[in-house]
Structure 1
Amino acid sequence: MSIAASIVVRPSLFLYLLRVGLCASLLAVGLWREPVLAVAGAAGFAWRRDVNPCRIDVSGRGQLRLTVYQQTGAAILLPGCTVWPGLMLLRLEQGGRRRWLAVLPDSAPPDARRRLAIAVQALAEKA
């Protein structure tokens, strides 16, 4: 059985809405009781980090390539990845830079997530 897979992971709308709700809650509580929380909530709204879609390509031989905003490079799957039915947290190293990639149900189609989970588990067993 081949572990080859190619998946496009979009930014999660669920995580964005969760962040907005947390910042709004901090702002509301801060305006009511604690000014420090109001500052934290406002800073959460002001802090914007652009999240780009990425593409993960796993070859049949187990090589991993990560493409983020037209920058492609070989990646290494590090220990500590989590693969659950509703959440995948992939710990990757690309060019000396380590990053976490969260794959939620709204980030990729179910079939693509399933193929990626199988590929990640096969790569973890090889290591």
Structure 2
Amino acid sequence: MSIAVSADIKPSRLIFIVMASACAGVALIGIGLGLLMPGHPSLSLRVTIAVVCILAAALALFSLLRSRKTIWLHISGTGQIRVVEHLLHGNTRAKPQVMKAGLAQLLSGTTIWPGMLFLRLKLENGKTRTIPILPDCVPDDTFRALTVACRWLISHNVAKAQLMEK
């Protein structure tokens, strides 16, 4: 059985909507604390709390927008994983600009659920990267193929670990 899979993983719109809503909620809580908490704390403390909440929400939203990159993931038939980050320009005919590329290993904290994958990968430079993959990131058949390939990799990694212990 060949497990070779290639996928362009686009940033999830669902994760973006949830995180943007959470940021908006934090900002609204800050504004609510600043305006609707009369009496007990001083005005300067309420304004400080409101400003800190708004800044934290803006920083989180900026961080979220900055980390949205398209990732090309290739799992070979032997189980080797190659990860390539790239930016697509507005013109879809132009070639994507490669940001980072390298080999990776699937780590044990990888989560595979029917509607969501969280791939924990150890990159060549030693860093750990988590890639969330929801069904809105890839086509349905690619999502199923990625799920099967990751389950195969996990089962073979467990088998290798058991052989190493003996």
TM-score normalised by L of structure 1: 0.91
More deviation, 40-49/62-71: 40-49
Give the structure 2 partner of residue 93 of structure 1.
122
Give matches, 1:39-78, under 5 Å: 39-47=55-63, 48-69=65-86, 70=98, 71-78=100-107
Q: How does 1:103-118 map to 2 (within 5 A)?
A: 103-118=133-148
- How many pairs are equivalent? 127
Letter in 2 for 1:76: Q
Kept after mapping to 2: 8 A contact 1:30/1:39: no
2:16 aligns to what?
16
Identity of aligned residues (%): 33
Q: 1:57·1:65 contact (CA, 8 Å) conserved in 2?
A: yes
Residue 46 of structure 1 deviates from its aligned partner by: 4.1
Unpaired segments ≥5 residues, structure 1: none
> Aligned-residue CA RMSD in angstroms?
1.5
Q: Which amino acid aligns with 2:143?
A: R
Moved more, 40-49 or 59-68: 40-49
Q: Structure 2: which 5+ residue stretches go unaligned?
A: 34-48, 87-97, 158-166
Distance 2:7 2:62 in 1: 31
Give the Cα–Cα distance (whole angstroms) in 2 for the partners of residues 42 and 65 of structure 1. 33
Bigger RCO (CA 8 Å, 6+ sep): 1
Deviations 1:85-117 (A, max 9, x none): 111000001121110000011111111010001
